Amino acid sequence: MMKEFKVTPIRNGTVIDHIECGMALKVLRIIGMTDGKVQSPVSVLMHVPSKKEGWKDVVKVEDRELDPREVDKIALIAPKATINIIRDFNVAEKHNVVMPERVVGKARCSNPNCITNQNEPIEPEFVVEGKNQPVLRCVYCDRNVDDIAENLL
């Protein structure tokens, strides 16, 4: 029997479940939960067994819902994540993250010579290729973003 992991249930908030192992802290950064910015309790589970298969990370944030821009960025680094809205201790809504087809103004191009890195008023824009291991291809210079999680804006 696998050990059960328990954290205090939350009354209202968001559970980001089925995060790829190792990505929990990157998810926290995407939702702005970094040092000194946390305003309500946050639980982070890393490398816990998943009932589906293998292991996962989970992030639970009280009194906070996510905006679509945050969910798009989570999709890029954790394509199998689910967003569970908790109301009065129950899962009121469950959504799979959806891989965006284009990413505009949310990541920086890895090519230092790209027009989007030249102090021009041009928003970086990428086509997303691949669903499970997404690749971001710059529409201006064709370069792929090297490490998506490290290049989110």
Ligand X SMILES: Nc1ncnc2c1ncn2[C@@H]1O[C@H](COP(=O)(O)OP(=O)(O)OP(=O)(O)O)[C@@H](O)[C@H]1O
The residue ranges that bind Mg ion (CB under 5 A) are 51
Q: Given the complex with Zn ion, which of 111 and 151 has the nearer CB atom? A: 111
Tell me the C-alpha distance between 32 and 48, whole Å. 23
Tell me the C-alpha distance between 104 and 152, whole Å. 11
Among Zn ion, ligand X, Mg ion, none, residue 106 binds (CB under 5-8 Å by kind): none
Q: Given the complex with ligand X, which of 45 and 139 has the nearer CB atom? A: 45
82 binds ligand X (CB under 6 A): yes
What is the x/- site pattern for Zn ion, positions 102-131, by CB under 5 A? -------x-x--x-----------------
Q: Compute the least distance from the CB of residue 134 to Mg ion, in Å.
A: 23
DSSP 106-135: SB--S-TTSGGGTT-S---EEEEE-SSS-E
17 binds ligand X (CB under 6 A): yes
Contact pick of 28, 59, 81, 138 for Zn ion (by CB under 5 A): 138
Amino acid code (one letter) for 18: H
Contact pick of 23, 74, 84, 109 for ligand X (by CB under 6 A): 84
The answer to whether 104 touches 116, Cβ cutoff 8 Å, is no
86 binds ligand X (CB under 6 A): yes
Phi, psi of 47 (to 5 degrees): 55, 55
Tell me the C-alpha distance between 58 and 84, whole Å. 11
Among Zn ion, ligand X, Mg ion, none, residue 109 binds (CB under 5-8 Å by kind): Zn ion
Q: Which of 99, 108, 150 is nearest to 126 (CA)?
A: 108
Among Mg ion, ligand X, Zn ion, none, residue 111 binds (CB under 5-8 Å by kind): Zn ion
Token pair recorded at residue 57: 């990370």
Please say whether the dihedral angle defined by the alpha carbons of residues 45, 48, 65 and 147, taken in this order, is positive or negative. positive
Binding residues (CB under 5 A) for Zn ion: these are 109, 111, 114, 138, 140-141
